[in-house]
Amino acid sequence: MQKILKVSKIRTFYSMNQKQPSKNLQLSQSEMRALSNQVMDLVIEHFEDLRSLPVVQKPAIPLPTQSISEGKELLKRQREPIPYLATDIRCIVQQLEKDILNQIVHTDHPRFFAFVPSPNNFVSVMADTLVSGFNVFAGTWLVGKGAAEIERETIGWLCQLCGLPKTAGGLFVSGGSMANLTALATARHIKLNDQIDKAVVYFSDQTHSSVIRALKILGFPQHQLRSIPCDKDYRLSMKDVWNQVVYDRTQGNIPFCVIANAGTTNTGAIDPLADLADFCQAENLWLHVDGAFGAAAILTDTGKKKLTGLERADSITIDPHKWLFQPYEIGCLIVREQGTLKDTFCIMPEYLHDVNQTTEEEINYCNYGAQLTRSFRALKLWMSFKAFGVDTFSEAISWGMTLAELAEHLFQELPDWEVVSSASIGIVTFRYVPTRCSTSIDAINQQIVNQIASSGFAMLSTTVLKGHKVIRMCTINPSTTEEDILQTIIQLNDIAKSLTPSALVS
Ligand SMILES: Cc1ncc(COP(=O)(O)O)c(C=O)c1O
């Protein structure tokens, strides 16, 4: 053997071919330390200084009167030629600091109330660093059993918190959209054996667009989707669902799934989960609950009461990167019967036979969802749950609900404003309705939101409820103070008055 494989032979091979590159995409120890100090300084400064920074660094929503040339400048600056040659890494980080990281809206800012805020925590940031540093592969037991074990444990905690039985399980995915897609693929498989012809699915018109997108991806044509108009409280009406299902059966359609909301994105409304669970059980329908935003409220006593029935769902979407204070991307799907995921997603290609020589306990998460190569998302939730304690999370979630109630109370006191939907698990909606005003009320409310964003002080967003544009405030950041809420409302009111001088006369 020694005689056959001689070093000289390797040398001859090299003389004809390329040698191993001298730069192997690695840094020296001192370069790594310098880079990590530079990067970590930026991150720590971000955490320390966040409150003093404008929420919106540059106008997020350019006003018609403002030039958007600054945005164009950014785009131009970004169009650099392919960097074939190396650049000093310190300069790259400086460039990021100067040109890029200041071009983001701080969704973790205490006065970011738009969409669904994403208050972050430093322990989870460090967890993500560890995950990338060790490049943990969380797809199979063979390669990442430690990761699989932590994922199983963390998913188990979420199942327990949601009140699901011991048979429950689930997995972490990129976010709520993927969790909804995974849930509906599972419902399709379990209830229909993937035969979607004439199969009908029910949800309220307040349901998140990711659900409709998921159904589209799964092949359901529009005429098999039943978007049911919500009731006055923005919830599914049991009577309407019941009528629709009965009607569909008479038409030869096959009802198979109801999608309920545990906190709509528009108003935080919670569908009648317990009644829906009874109904789905009686009608043999899959009950999926989209709690991407709101299911986290189950960690609080008030939330537990409001979410009664959640524990009876077949599947639940819950997004740790929303109200469990995690950095993007971590969504989660939990299902009542862990086996339903495996039945739906498990495929055994030849080259993965080594991987699939496992016992039931040795979970290959690649068999429970769409991703084979997947990151160790569980670590950040696991580490932060342990480091702060779940009780601290519960208090933080409770505080978010209290702040929305405070905002509702303040708007009720304020002339010319009306509360459109009461505070519901951290979301309140309202609108400015001056008595005398020549401009459209919808347009004024949009202007108010645009102007407060461009002032940098706070950011809120609009939505449309029953045909009217309203302003939405989502108050789930635990660093938000009562004073933040008060000052934001004062500013909204000042902007509103400045936009409608004629209303001042009234
Ligand atoms: C209720 C609800 N479902 C699903 C989603 C989609 O989640 P993601 O953006 O993480 O994909 C959202 C996002 O805001 C949501 O509020």
Q: Give the whole-number percent of the chain exceeding pLDDT 70.
A: 94
Q: Does ligand 1 have an atom closer than 6 angstroms to the CB of 208?
A: yes
- Ligand 1 mean position to 237 CA, how many Å? 22
Q: Is 295 helix (H, G, I), strand (E, B) or coil?
A: helix
Residues 363 and 444 in one domain: no
pLDDT at position 437 is 78
Bridge partners (DSSP) listed for residue 427: 424, 474
Positions in the chain whose pLDDT score sits under 70 = 1-3, 58-78, 502-506
Residues 469 and 347 in one domain: no
Kindly list the distances between the CA atom of residue 477 and the CA atoms of 266, 421, 426, 489, in Å, as whole numbers in the listed order. 17, 20, 9, 16
Q: Does ligand 1 have an atom closer than 6 angstroms to the CB of 265?
A: yes
Give the CATH number of the domain where residue 453 resides: 3.90.1150.170
Residues 451 and 304 in one domain: no
Tell me which residue has its CA closest to atom 13 in ligand 1: 176
* Amino acid letter, residue 75: L
Count of domains for the chain: 2
Residue 93 placed within a domain:
no
Give the CATH number of the domain where residue 178 resides: 3.40.640.10
Q: Is 27 helix (H, G, I), strand (E, B) or coil?
A: coil
Q: Which of 210, 321, 330 to mutate to test the pocket of ligand 1 (most atoms within 8 A of CB)?
A: 210
> Of 388, 420, 449, which marks where a domain is finished?
388
Residues 209 and 312 in one domain: yes
Helix 390-413 vs helix 482-499: crossing angle, to nearest 10: 30
Residue 60 placed within a domain:
no
Residues 142 and 248 in one domain: yes
Residues 278 and 344 in one domain: yes
Bridge partners (DSSP) listed for residue 203: 227, 259
Report helix, strand and coil shares of the chain as percent, to nearest 5.
50, 15, 35
Q: Which of 293, 315, 329 to mutate to test the pocket of ligand 1 (most atoms within 8 A of CB)?
A: 293
pLDDT at position 68 is 41
Dist. CA 207–CA 370, nearest whole Å: 23
Residues 180 and 321 in one domain: yes
Residues 374 and 409 in one domain: no
Residue 73 placed within a domain:
no
Dist. CA 471–CA 480, nearest whole Å: 18
Residues 482 and 351 in one domain: no
Pick the atom of ligand 1 nearest to 175's CA. Answer: 10
pLDDT at position 253 is 98
- Ligand 1 mean position to 291 CA, how many Å? 9
Residue 28 placed within a domain:
no
Q: Shortest CA distance to 117 belongs to which of 420, 316, 394, 324? A: 324
Q: Does ligand 1 have an atom closer than 6 angstroms to the CB of 176?
A: yes
Largest alpha-carbon pair distance within the chain? 102
Bridge partners (DSSP) listed for residue 432: 417
> Of 388, 407, 428, which marks where a domain is finished?
388
List the domain range (segments joined by +) for residue 484.
392-505
Tell me which residue has its CA closest to atom 4 in ligand 1: 176
Q: Does ligand 1 have an atom closer than 6 angstroms to the CB of 319?
A: yes
Residues 223 and 371 in one domain: yes
pLDDT at position 74 is 63
416, 498 contact by CB (below 8 A): no
Residue 142 placed within a domain:
yes
458, 106 contact by CB (below 8 A): no
Residues 317 and 400 in one domain: no
| 317, containing H or E segment | strand 315-318
> Of 332, 354, 388, which marks where a domain is finished?
388
- Ligand 1 mean position to 178 CA, how many Å? 9
310, 282 contact by CB (below 8 A): no
